[in-house]
Structure 1
Amino acid sequence: MNPRFGTPPERGRRYIRRPGAYAVLWRDGQILVTHQAAPQPEFQLPGGGVEAGESPIQALHREVFEETGWRIAAPRRLGTFRRFTFMPEYDLWAEKLCMIYLAFPVRRLSAPTEPGHSAHWLDPREAVGLLGNPGDAAFVRGLIG
């Protein structure tokens, strides 16, 4: 069973399972994170939902590019966690199955193409305190010791 972060599921509520791939993007002692302005402003690990017909690695490459403008290399899966949350952009309650990878940003091709996202380089210790998702923070904390 994968660890759970965040609030427990509400009894009697139906959740839709949403697999997603997210990356700790490490380069020169810093990590690249995304800041999402809405529905609530927060720093996040870049990544997102795996679409139908897409592998988690394909989703990871696509989502990281959309949210940061960077191409990545050498993704290595670190683990998975679950969280139960309301996703206002989809108007649904989701059981998010978050697959976390370590990857390396190799080339910036553009600004983020995902509306409301901006890319930021942070010291990993600073990122732990800023990431809005406790699961994201736990994986970064695990990498820095």
Structure 2
Amino acid sequence: MIRRFGETPEPGRRYTRRVGVYALLPRGGSLLLTCQIEPGPDLQLPGGGIDPGESPIAALHREVFEETGWSIAAPRRIGAFRRFTYMPEYDLWAEKICLIYRAHPVRRQGPPTEAFHEAVWMNAGDAVHMLGNAGDRHFARLYLSGR
């Protein structure tokens, strides 16, 4: 059983399962995050959905680059959670299965390539309180306590 964070699923509502990968990207007491400006703003761990036929690791590299402009190295899965939410950009009610990795941010290649995303470096202690969903906050808190 994967731990659930956030809203309780509404009885009778149909949810589409979406598996995604997300990264804790620490450097010197800070975390590299993404701020999704539309429809937000929403501060998030960088990541997103795994495309059909794509491996989780390939998806993680792609999503982090798209949302932050950074390349990463040495991803290691540290956990997972699920949450039920409405995704306005897809007009979809989703059961999101979020696979969480820890990786090293290597180098900024340029600005984010995904529209309405901005890379943000934030003190890990602040991120624990400011991330937009409880699952992201939980994993940031675990990172902070075990650093």
Q: TM-score range by the shorter chain?
A: over 0.9
Matched, 1:84 2:84: yes
Runs of 4 or more above 4 Å deviation: none
Identity of aligned residues (%): 63
Post-superposition shift, 1:27?
Answer: 1.2
Structure 1: distance between partners of 2:143 and 2:108? 24
| Helix, strand or coil at the partner of 1:65 | helix
- Matched residue, 1:104: 104
Post-superposition shift, 1:121?
Answer: 0.7
Post-superposition shift, 1:29?
Answer: 1.8
- Matched residue, 1:16: 16
TM-score, structure 1 normalization: 0.98
Q: How many residues align?
A: 145
| Helix, strand or coil at the partner of 1:128 | helix
Post-superposition shift, 1:143?
Answer: 1.1
Structure 2: distance between partners of 1:27 and 1:56? 23
Q: Residues 60-79 of structure 1: matches in 2 within 5 Å?
A: 60-79=60-79
- Offset from partner CA, 1:5-31 (integer Å, 9 cap, x none): 000100011111000000000112211
| Helix, strand or coil at the partner of 1:54 | coil
Structure 2: distance between partners of 1:115 and 1:90? 14
TM-score, structure 2 normalization: 0.97
Post-superposition shift, 1:144?
Answer: 1.0
